[in-house]
A = this chain, B = another copy of it.
Amino acid sequence: MLTAQELEKSPLFHDISYQDYREILVCFQAVQRSFRADDLIYDFSTDAVGVVERGQASVIRIDEEGVATVLEDLGAGGVFGKTLAFAGSTGDSLEVVCRRPCDVVFIDYEHILSRCSQACHRHSILVQNMLQLMAGKAQDLSRRVDVLSRRSIREKLLCYFRQLSQQTGSRTFILPFSLSTLADYIATDRSAMMRELKRLREDGSVRSDGRQFTLFQ
């Protein structure tokens, strides 16, 4: 259960009164749970939909050879679920893993989609909030596609840096994860990425100190 203040910040329950919020929890059989770093949040085995209310998590794919790849980076307002994305066509296993302490709401997607017979007001607001979250998710995923569809490591890095720069509204920004994870995120070899990073530094395209980067192009 959220407190009244937490409810204000909730992406899913935004603009919903505390009274309505409590009724929704019951009516939709929504479940709220907290997680700590490295906890397994979801394994794509159920039809439940999860919304990250607070914290940070990642969607990870582990292929047959055990190679892990970050498929998505979820912050507050992040949505995940078998029915929403990553249906998992193959034999690889999928997981949502906690990075920083998380609060997550689980709701059965069927409940959201079912035409509420009484057409209740709170239901329609919840659907509207959900639509907003899905729009955000689509934006995230399309940004990801934008990066991954570049042909070289150099272009991938620059594209990703431009995105971060634009999101923060500054030439200088902090990577949301380690360089090792970044290599994983842009789906390339780490050492090759490091080499390319060095070149970018050498020709003055970027300046970097740890996870802090400044983009000059």
Contacts and interface: CB of A to CB of B under 8 A. Distances in A.
What range describes how many residues of A lie at the interface? 35 or more
Interface in A124-176: 124-125, 127-128, 130-132, 134-135, 137-139, 141-146, 148-151, 159, 162-163, 166
A57 interface: no
- Copies of the polypeptide in the assembly: 2
B149 A69 contact: yes
Interface stretch (A34-42, A85-93, A100-108): A85-93
A69 B142 CA distance: 13
A131 B127 contact: yes
20 contacts: A15-B115, A67-B151, A71-B142, A71-B149, A84-B138, A86-B146, A89-B143, A89-B159, A89-B163, A112-B131, A113-B128, A113-B131, A113-B132, A115-B128, A119-B124, A127-B127, A130-B131, A145-B148, A149-B187, A151-B189
A163 B92 CA distance: 13
A66 B202 CA distance: 27
Contacts of A125: 115
Interface in A35-69: 61, 67, 69
B85 A141 contact: yes
Contacts of A144: 141, 145
Given A71-B146, A119-B121, A131-B127, A85 B187 contact: no
Contact of A86 (B71, B128, B142, B189): B142
Contacts of A145: 71-72, 141, 144-145, 148
A87 B139 contact: yes
